[in-house]
Structures are given as C-alpha cells and as structure tokens.
Amino acid sequence: MALVELKNGSPVDEGIAAGVMFALTELFNEDAPTFLELLEMCRNPGHRIGDSCAGRLRALAFLQPQPNGQVHYAIRDVVLSAVVGEGLDLHLESPLE
C-alpha cells in the first residue's frame, strides 16, 4: 500500500488509515464513552482506562497487547488527525491532508 500524509504531517500506510477510520467511526457512533477514553489516551499517553474500555479497544485493535497496552503511534496519529473539536462539538473528519 502507499503512504499518505495525515493532517498532522505524519506519513501512514493508506490501509492503516482506512482501517482505523472504519473502526473509529464505529466506536464514535456506538460507544461514546470508550471513544472519549481512546481520544484522551491519544492526547495524554499517561491516561489510564478501566478494564471494560481497554477490552473493547483491544478487540478493535486500538491498543497494543499487554503489558504496555498503549495506543500505537500510527493509530494515535490517525485519531488525532481525524477528531476535530472539543466536548459536545467533537466530530470526525478525514485524517488526510
């Protein structure tokens, strides 16, 4: 696959960007609390989440396997490039430049 440039300037594989956006849109529409936890983890890598959210994020491949359970840098870059706004004004846009 080809590399594409994200809004934050990072290059990422086109397939990774598409896959993350598919899962991120599902999470945004169906599980707002877990979506918000993922966003906070991307914005603040030291943020810790509960087991139920972690399990859902791991099932969607947003979190790396234990022991660290962090968001992979490529996924973090896509999330931060795609999520726009704050609070009730949060919405998703294309992460691509």
pLDDT the model gives residue 83? 97
Write down the pLDDT at residue 50. Answer: 85
Residue in this structure with the two tokens 């919405």, named with its chain if needed: 91
Domain ranges, ordered by start, for the chain: 3-83
Side chain identity at residue 51, one-letter code:
D
pLDDT at 66 over 70: no
Tell me the CA end-to-end span of the chain in Å, nearest whole number. Answer: 17
What is the model's pLDDT at position 25?
Answer: 97
The arithmetic mean of pLDDT across residues 45-71, rounded, is 86
Q: Return the structure tokens found at 49.
A: 């989440």
- Cis peptide before 67, with omega less than 30 degrees from 0? yes
pTM, entire model:
0.92
pLDDT, residue 4, reads: 96
Residue 43's alpha-carbon distances to 2, 72, 90, in angstroms, are: 26, 13, 14
Q: What is the pLDDT of residue 52?
A: 86
